[in-house]
Structure 1
Amino acid sequence: MSVAVQVAIVMVVLLVVFLAFGVPIGVSIGLSSAVSMMCMLPDHIAFTTSAQRLFAGSNSFSLIAIPFFILAGNIMNNGGIAIRLVNCAKVLSGRMPAALAQTNVVANMLFGAISGSGAAAAAAIGGTIGPLEKEEGYDSDFSTAVNVASAPVGMLIPPSNTMIVFSTVAGSVSVSALFMAGYIPGIIWGLGIMILAGITGRKLGYQNTEKVTFSVALKTFLEGIPSLLLIVIVIGGILGGIFTATEGSAIAVVYAALLSLFYRSIKLSDIPKIVANSAKMTGTITFMIGLSSIMSWAMAFTGIPDMVAEAVLGLTDNRFLIFLLMNLILLVVGTFMDATPAILIFTPIFLPICTGLGMNPVHFGIVLCYNLAVGTITPPVGTILFTGCKVGGVTIESVMKYLLPYFAVIAVGLLLVTYIPVISLLLPSLLGLL
């Protein structure tokens, strides 16, 4: 057994042990990487290289977009924008079965498209529409399941922080191309949830009889236009070459702040708290990105990606089976690891395999984000699952009976996105981004 293989085993075993003992994911990554580097290099070189990688990993212009999009999402979460999106979604859902549940899905898609955060969507939209559903006699477990199942769409419909992280790790993959590639997969996810929610709602007798008049619908959309314009301004500006994704994120903050102040739903005294919460979230993500950069360097030095590629290709040379195996691994990983560290660790491993089999890097990025989005609604680390249950005032155990069928729908969407590249690549191709 070569020294590189021994070091690789030490790194993987230490990471698993640290995680098993409840050590925070960022610390686990950093410690296991540092020990492995000390096994390969003299101590002073290992420490110097680790410090360099820590700085280099977090010193990226594109990563500046993450704190701004987080801040914009938090401002919108507290700024009265959610209720206007819910009202627009109610008009769109019309008189469909379980109309309020359908409204929840549409509102999550709209809010996710603005904030880029599934957890923020689950909290803001779930907290807004949940009381309305209770008044209409909806089962709280059913309502929470729909909210939880649809909230991760924000990780696919741009702007998406996970796509920005992937673009940084992958190197030459365009953020604009990833943003456009996420639209159709995100819509497929949302439509699947709406269809199943409608079928379930009809069986439970949740039939909407209220008819929205044209004047009410027009007034609702006019009130929601300022909020929806944020999507047009940010995404349109990025695609039009007016500004970069990073600059667009800063514009999103300014627009969201001005809009919230205009609605008078946020006070100047609230801003320091919102900024502080955003800084905490940003610090956590940046810390993990820097430490994961050390692990990526150590993995490359030991040849772990090559060893994994040889092991996978040694099992089969059928690209369809390899893609299926990759999805299964990522789904399992997503159940116990947050999306950011998972992207940082597994992109260097799976990207070369997939591109070698003819998968476009943009397509792979969407498949990766889709897989990890599923992990946000599965225990034990499902942040959106926990957020949705807390907002809905229900337990995870009671929600699961309603949530399980949605997993099946989401899995079908994952297979479609994986094996039909045009779903992800159509819009980027039409816009000349590939």
Structure 2
Amino acid sequence: MATILFISLFGFLILGVPIAVALGLASVIAVWWGGQIPLLILAQREFTSIDSFPLMAIPFFILAGSLMESGGISRRLINFANSLTGHIKGGLGVVAVVTSMFFGAISGSSAATVAALGTILIPAMIKRGYHRNFAGGVQAVSGELGVIIPPSIPMILYAVSTETSVGDMFIAGVIPGLLIGFSLLLAVYFIAKRRGYASEERVSWPGRWQAFKEASLALIMPVIILGGIYGGIFTPTEAAGVAVAYAFVIGMFVYREITWKSLLPILGQSVITTSIVMFIIANAGLFGWILSRESVPQMVGDFFATISTNPFVFLLLVNLLLFIVGMFFETGASIIILAPLLTPVAMQFGIDPVHFGLVMIVNLAMGMCTPPVGVNLFISCQIAKISLEEITKGVLPFLFVLIVDLLLVSYIPQISLWLPHLFK
């Protein structure tokens, strides 16, 4: 059955069938071909895949991100970041990275980060004389911070798929997110200095204070989420509900940039996005159930054991696999399919599941800004009005930095585990 499953999946992908649909159709064909499982079980397994309390956090975080984006949060965060770092060489590129770090701590989505900030920053960089491929590339790469800095939807998916604590995953992502953010800042600075990009005027301290006050309500949101979780006030799922309520009150009654008329389109877009994610989760869960039933995880473990019993070699092989997968598959589907397969093997090698989760997420996040299907690239291409080939040239220097960061996260577990152990 497993052979038919993989043959069907790759056949549908070659035909250009969307990944979520391909996963579902391949599962149906495999079960029908095997003839041992009633087809009714498929619907039950799909329902079971999404019948999870932690998964309720996903629609809430999606809605919270939409409310914060429409409520003027992105503009205020950009102004605050510009007041702090705009005067540095390549100022607007630096602002793009810093703002993505702030916004990533709110939205939980890479694509949302690129769309919300790129529409403002990419045209501004082009107007100031930055090359289009640099402007689009730095925003596309910075957007991946949206799924590494908590809250993060891929972290929730990994935690649910491997029965790992969502709270531990969230807190473990803080230091890797900061590491990647600051390394991208250095890369932007040196590239901008070499190319002679302009910097912005230095903002006075009263101006910085004013920008901080305007953005302070947005900056408090991550503190509420993580502080509430680790303070024992609410669970990660309940934190997502709190984030929605907070975003609604701030956008509607404080900033007053969300109106009752605009609320319906915000809700509608959030429902569509949630439906897409849940459809992927349901089909990927079904696909993963068939793999488990056919003992594929055990076969994967035996395969890695025949190659080497060294955890360093295992991590190297997994990183190569994930890098290739990330170039062709959607991040959420990749995590749901591969995490249940690879995490038990990683634990056999003595690797902490939280650490391994960060390795997976950091690696697959790079797939969002690598061709041929990097969603961040396509969003930035549309905004910068350049081709995929052009923006790829702008992304390459940053990819080298991201690979170095990935190796550090992979081989220095304390980067991911120090904070979770500190809070226990």
TM-score, normalising length from structure 1? 0.95
1:224 paired with 2:215, answer yes
Q: How far apart are the structure 2 equivalents of 1:390 and 1:62?
A: 34
Q: 1:234 to 1:12 in 2, by over 3 A?
A: same
Which amino acid is the alignment partner of residue 295 of structure 1? F
**Superposition map of 1:236-247 within 5 A:** 236-247=227-238
Q: What residue in structure 2 maps to residue 203 of structure 1?
A: 194
1:357 is displaced (CA, Å) by 0.4
1:208 is displaced (CA, Å) by 2.2
**Superposition map of 1:99-114 within 5 A:** 99-114=91-106
Q: What residue in structure 2 maps to residue 57 of structure 1?
A: 49
CA contact (8 A) 2:377 2:391 kept: no
Which amino acid is the alignment partner of residue 13 of structure 2? L
- Pick from 9, 19, 23: which aligns with 1:25? 19
Q: What residue in structure 1 maps to residue 62 of structure 2?
A: 70
Of all paired residues, the percent bearing the same amino acid is 39
1:300 is displaced (CA, Å) by 1.1
Q: What residue in structure 2 maps to residue 4 of structure 1?
A: none
Q: How far apart are the structure 2 equivalents of 1:123 and 1:290?
A: 26
1:317 is displaced (CA, Å) by 2.1
Q: How far apart are the structure 2 equivalents of 1:201 and 1:111?
A: 23
Q: SS in structure 1 opposite 2:351?
A: coil
Q: What residue in structure 2 maps to residue 378 of structure 1?
A: 370
1:189 paired with 2:180, answer yes
- Pick from 310, 316, 323: which aligns with 1:318? 310
Q: What residue in structure 2 maps to residue 115 of structure 1?
A: 107
Q: How far apart are the structure 2 equivalents of 1:361 and 1:22?
A: 34
**Superposition map of 1:340-351 within 5 A:** 340-351=332-343
Q: How far apart are the structure 2 equivalents of 1:394 and 1:40?
A: 48
Which amino acid is the alignment partner of residue 278 of structure 2? T
Q: Number of aligned pairs?
A: 423
- Pick from 35, 38, 48: which aligns with 2:32? 38
Q: How far apart are the structure 2 equivalents of 1:284 and 1:120?
A: 14
Q: How far apart are the structure 2 equivalents of 1:146 and 1:406?
A: 8
Q: How far apart are the structure 1 equivalents of 2:38 and 2:322?
A: 30
Q: How far apart are the structure 2 equivalents of 1:266 and 1:363?
A: 39
Q: What residue in structure 2 maps to residue 252 of structure 1?
A: 243
Q: What residue in structure 2 maps to residue 16 of structure 1?
A: 10
Which amino acid is the alignment partner of residue 212 of structure 2? F
1:87 is displaced (CA, Å) by 1.1
1:128 paired with 2:130, answer no
- Pick from 136, 146, 163: which aligns with 2:155? 163
Q: How far apart are the structure 2 equivalents of 1:135 and 1:302?
A: 56
**Superposition map of 1:350-389 within 5 A:** 350-389=342-381
Q: How far apart are the structure 1 equivalents of 2:367 and 2:128?
A: 31
Q: 1:396 to 1:240 in 2, by over 3 A?
A: same
1:290 paired with 2:291, answer no
Q: How far apart are the structure 1 equivalents of 2:291 and 2:413?
A: 29
1:370 is displaced (CA, Å) by 0.7
More divergent stretch after superposition (345-354 vs 310-319): 310-319
Q: SS in structure 2 opposite 1:212?
A: coil
CA contact (8 A) 2:86 2:200 kept: no
- Structure 2: 5+ residue stretches without partners: none
Q: How far apart are the structure 2 equivalents of 1:17 and 1:203?
A: 46
- Pick from 317, 323, 333: which aligns with 1:331? 323
1:41 is displaced (CA, Å) by 4.3
Q: How far apart are the structure 2 equivalents of 1:256 and 1:57?
A: 29
Which amino acid is the alignment partner of residue 3 of structure 2? I
Q: 1:26 to 1:94 in 2, by over 3 A?
A: closer
Which amino acid is the alignment partner of residue 196 of structure 2? G
1:92 is displaced (CA, Å) by 2.3
Q: How far apart are the structure 1 equivalents of 2:316 and 2:38?
A: 37
* 1:375-431, Cα deviation, whole Å (9 max, x unpaired): 111122211111112122222211222211111100000000001000000111111
* 1:117-174, Cα deviation, whole Å (9 max, x unpaired): 1111111111122233233222222111111111101101010000101111101x11
Q: How far apart are the structure 2 equivalents of 1:209 and 1:101?
A: 11
* 1:307-348, Cα deviation, whole Å (9 max, x unpaired): 122122212222211111101111111111111110111012
Q: How far apart are the structure 1 equivalents of 2:80 and 2:203?
A: 11
Q: What residue in structure 2 maps to residue 215 of structure 1?
A: 206
Q: What residue in structure 2 maps to residue 3 of structure 1?
A: none
Q: How far apart are the structure 2 equivalents of 1:222 and 1:404?
A: 37
CA contact (8 A) 1:34 1:46 kept: no
Q: How far apart are the structure 2 equivalents of 1:92 and 1:280?
A: 36
More divergent stretch after superposition (176-185 vs 293-302): 293-302
* 1:218-252, Cα deviation, whole Å (9 max, x unpaired): 11111110111111112211111111111111111
Q: What residue in structure 1 maps to residue 77 of structure 2?
A: 85
Q: How far apart are the structure 1 equivalents of 2:386 and 2:333?
A: 29
